[in-house]
Amino acid sequence: MSAANAALARATRLKDEFLASMSHELRTPLTGILAFAQALQKQIYGPLTEKQLNSLKSIEDSGKHLLELINDILDLSKIEAGMMELEIGLVSAEEICQASLRLIKQMAQAKRQDVAYRLSPLDLRLLADNRRLKQMLVNLLSNAVKFTPEGGSLGLEVEGDSRQEAVRFTVWDTGVGIAGEDMPRLFQSFVQLDSRLSRRYAGTGLGLALVRRMAELHGGGVAVESEVGKGSRFTIALPWNLPPRIDPADRLAQRGAPRSAGGDHPMRLVKLAQARRPRLLLAEDTETTITLLSDYLEAEGYELIVARSGSEAIQKAREVSPDLILMDVQMPGMDGLETMQRIRQESALAATPMIALTALAMPGDRERCLAAGANDYLTKPVNLEGLAQTIRGKLPAPEEGV
Ligand code: MN
């Protein structure tokens, strides 16, 4: 087993090194192509004809597109390999929004579009990765510009919701909209909804997949509402408040690190000595969410068993017979829906309560989760208080601490 783990760790490291060197190898010649295409267009090597200038513009545009594609593939591979580390800090929503809006301003002006912006409260701050949050917003905003016709309007609305413990960044447009049957494919890698549209609207087809995965890394999710011909609203929801009794610096410092018994708070040791606490199995592939949920639920008096994939969840469910299962829906390999279906087929687990957690709120999600065997369904970012209530509703209450 440990030999297999070592081999896996080695393979992962090699993949990481490969990606890093591939990134460098691809970017270096591209930089040369772009620089010379630009220099030639400035006619510093002599005057050019209209046709020659147009050809150079095409070389430059294609080169830029290729560079975006390389960057997106690398980001996505890093996330899928679990290698993307967020640099979480306290960030100002106003600064991030203004910086993101500046980046799409020219594109929107060229199409004479009206860009609205609203933020509430004005001094909203949250824990997030500054650069990645900006990347998510710019991604959604450039889509909004791209899919909204000339002279149309779009906007960014940010709202801190203290009751739901979430900050919601909504990018809306008055563009072509998305048909209901296309929604499930929307956040998949390399999917563009319409081959005709993809020719009209250039893009890497990776942007939304990246937005989704980055929101998940933050412990949040993405929701979409859309009407064909009227427009779309994409909402990134990120957790706002921190769980009680946990120092944010502590929580972030241990992010991704293995949890050791030595690092446990004395409070937990007291609780361990008590009668058996209700046992929860958490199936989740994102470390930030694992840390957040297990810290909170352990503090609430539950015993947490973590599985980082669908197959691990099935195996651990058999081994430990949990009192309740929390199931992330979006996981690489076997997703949460298939995992729940398989768990339901095991006679010993047929009646175990399961709560599905999804980072992607889409029409029909609830029905799909319930059909797969879930007893309940919550969207990320999970409102911790609401989650605890839902769990309590399905279990006897945990014993109080001393
Ligand atoms: Mn996930």
pLDDT tens digits for range 211-238? 998 999 999 999 999 999 899 999 999 9
Distance 276 CA to ligand 1 centre (A): 29
- Residue 305's identity, in one-letter code, is I
Distance 30 CA to ligand 1 centre (A): 34
The pLDDT score that the predictor gives to residue 395 is: 87
Distance 331 CA to ligand 1 centre (A): 4
> Burial code of 155-172, b = ≥16 C-beta within 10 A, e = fewer?
bbbbbbeeebbbbbbbbb
Tens of pLDDT, residue by residue over 113-167, are: 999 999 999 999 999 999 899 999 999 999 999 999 999 999 999 999 988 889 9
Tens of pLDDT, residue by residue over 39-97, are: 888 888 899 999 999 999 889 888 888 888 788 877 887 777 777 888 888 999 999 99
Distance 396 CA to ligand 1 centre (A): 28
Q: How far is the C-alpha of 166 from the C-alpha of 160, rounded, in Å?
A: 6
Distance 308 CA to ligand 1 centre (A): 9
Distance 273 CA to ligand 1 centre (A): 33
Distance 83 CA to ligand 1 centre (A): 14
Contact between 72 and 136 under an 8 Å Cβ cutoff? The reply is: no
Contact between 323 and 280 under an 8 Å Cβ cutoff? The reply is: yes
Distance 243 CA to ligand 1 centre (A): 20
Q: How far is the C-alpha of 40 from the C-alpha of 63, rounded, in Å?
A: 14
The pLDDT score that the predictor gives to residue 236 is: 96
What Å distances lie between residue 187 and 193, 254, 273, 319, CA to CA?
10, 30, 45, 34
Contact between 109 and 141 under an 8 Å Cβ cutoff? The reply is: no
The pLDDT score that the predictor gives to residue 246 is: 43
Whether the per-residue pLDDT at 258 is higher than 60: the answer is no
Q: How far is the C-alpha of 64 from the C-alpha of 299, rounded, in Å?
A: 49
Distance 287 CA to ligand 1 centre (A): 9
Compute and round to an integer the Cα radius of gyration of the chain: 24
Q: How far is the C-alpha of 13 from the C-alpha of 84, rounded, in Å?
A: 13
Distance 216 CA to ligand 1 centre (A): 6
- For residue 303, what are the β-bridge partners? 279
Contact between 217 and 286 under an 8 Å Cβ cutoff? The reply is: yes
The pLDDT score that the predictor gives to residue 197 is: 45
Q: How far is the C-alpha of 129 from the C-alpha of 91, rounded, in Å?
A: 8
